[in-house]
């Protein structure tokens, strides 16, 4: 008698085996997805988590940056940053700098910030004509650095700085802290902030005018000093080369400059209105008592005033008085100057 053998159990067994395999594979994929999502998720769910300033040195790759971030407890694993940078095709695009990061940020956001170079900074605006003391005060107000430490540095350590081979000519950096709007990196030291300003002076002033300043009597230091007087005295651009001409003409004939701004700089506290006793202050900066330029600049001039000092107007003026609307009235003789003063007073 011929027996009939059923093959159904074998088919069932194969189907069950395939199902188990697919289930294991699905579980593996799910676990991988979950792990990947965990790696790419913010370390903290608290949006108010404190930020951390992180410095990324030049030349660091994604793995090395990830190690830095992991040590700062900003991401779960160093590979989190590697994975994030690869997903968005940002590997090799990271820029060095100081970044303000939070454990509430996902690694992909951190990678994007570094690829864009969006470093942590605060905007600092230094107006033309600000003195080093005023700059220090503003930095202190904005909590960018210690006011006293910054002032001590710029008044005594000028020659310790170098910019592409150029060294400031004096230990006092008054005149060389170029007035501009800066993005100051958060956490920057006083020295780093000074270096940023000197780098800007080099690019904006030294490079374009150095050849011209080389033939100037006293060189660039004398030009910057004269420009600082012009900056503090002038209110409108049209007057800058005329005021510079007055001082140059006086220097040529040995006449004292008698610049009010130098007296204001010499006084312990700034005064808008000067009295006769102020004009007698015993200081080398008092150009009512001492001939020639003051020992150093009295402020930090902008490029227009420096250009005016280098190219004063070709006029015979020796005097000026502040007139209406910010303009000055210029005269060649003292008699004309007295008449101009009378007219200005009458107009007021």
Write down the pLDDT at residue 203.
Answer: 95
Kindly report the number of other CB atoms within 10 A of residue 207's CB atom.
12
User: What percent of the chain shows pLDDT beyond 70?
Assistant: 89
Which of 44-58, 188-202, 320-334 shows the lowest per-residue confidence on average (mean pLDDT)? 44-58
Write down the pLDDT at residue 239.
Answer: 96
Question: What value does the mean pLDDT of the chain take?
Answer: 89
C-alpha span between 261 and 129 (Å, rounded): 11
Backbone φ and ψ for 321, nearest 5 degrees, come out as -140, 145
Write down the pLDDT at residue 11.
Answer: 63
Residues 246/314, Cβ–Cβ less than 8 Å: no
Q: How buried is residue 131: exposed, middle or buried, by Cβ count under 10 Å (0-12/13-18/19+)? A: buried
Element (H, E) at 84: helix 78-87
Q: Which CATH architecture has domain 52-119?
A: 2-Layer Sandwich (3.30)
Q: What is the pLDDT of residues 272-293, one digit of tens each?
A: 888 889 898 999 999 999 999 9
Which of 174-183, 251-260, 268-277, 311-320 shows the lowest per-residue confidence on average (mean pLDDT)? 268-277
What pTM does this model have? 0.76
**Contacts with 110 (C-beta within 8 Å, 6 or more apart), sequence order:** 69, 74, 75, 81, 84, 99, 101
Kindly report the number of other CB atoms within 10 A of residue 174's CB atom.
24
For the chain, the domains span 52-119, 122-214, 219-347
Residues 243/250, Cβ–Cβ less than 8 Å: no
Write down the pLDDT at residue 238.
Answer: 95
Which of 76-80, 141-145, 300-304, 339-343 shows the lowest per-residue confidence on average (mean pLDDT)? 76-80
**Contacts with 177 (C-beta within 8 Å, 6 or more apart), sequence order:** 126, 130, 132, 135, 154, 194, 197, 198, 201, 300
Write down the pLDDT at residue 187.
Answer: 84
Span 39-55, mean pLDDT? 83
């Amino acid at each position: 008698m011929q027996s009939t053998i059923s093959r159904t159990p074998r088919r069932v067994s194969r189907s069950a085996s395939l199902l188990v395999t697919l289930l294991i594979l699905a579980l593996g994929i799910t676990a991988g997805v979950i792990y990947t999502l965990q790696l790419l998720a913010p370390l903290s769910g608290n949006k108010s988590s404190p930020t951390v300033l992180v410095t990324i040195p030049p030349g660091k790759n994604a793995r090395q940056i990830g190690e830095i971030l992991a040590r700062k407890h900003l991401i779960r694993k160093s590979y989190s940053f590697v994975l994030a940078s690869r997903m968005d095709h940002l590997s090799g695009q990271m820029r060095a700098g100081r970044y303000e990061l939070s454990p509430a940020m996902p690694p992909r956001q951190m990678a994007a910030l570094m690829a864009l170079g969006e470093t942590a900074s605060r905007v600092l605006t230094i107006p033309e004509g600000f003195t080093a003391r005023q700059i220090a005060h503003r930095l202190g107000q904005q909590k960018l650095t210690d006011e006293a430490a910054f002032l001590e540095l710029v008044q005594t350590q000028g020659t310790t700085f170098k910019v592409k081979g150029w060294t400031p000519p004096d230990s006092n950096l008054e005149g060389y802290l170029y007035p501009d709007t800066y993005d100051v990196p958060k956490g920057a030291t006083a020295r780093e902030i000074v270096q940023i300003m000197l780098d800007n002076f080099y690019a904006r002033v030294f490079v374009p005018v150095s050849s011209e300043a080389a033939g100037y009597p006293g060189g660039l230091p004398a030009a910057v000093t004269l420009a600082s007087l012009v900056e503090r005295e002038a209110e409108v651009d049209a007057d800058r080369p005329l005021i510079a001409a007055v001082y140059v003409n006086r220097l040529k004939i040995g006449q004292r400059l008698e610049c009010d701004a130098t007296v204001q700089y010499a006084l312990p506290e700034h005064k808008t209105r000067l009295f006769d006793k102020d004009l007698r202050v015993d200081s080398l900066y008092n150009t009512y008592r001492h001939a020639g330029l003051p020992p150093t600049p009295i402020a930090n001039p902008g490029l227009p005033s420096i250009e005016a000092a280098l190219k004063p107007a070709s006029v015979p003026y020796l005097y000026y008085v502040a007139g209406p609307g910010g303009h000055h009235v210029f005269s060649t003789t003292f008699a004309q100057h007295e008449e101009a003063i009378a007219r200005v007073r009458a107009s007021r």
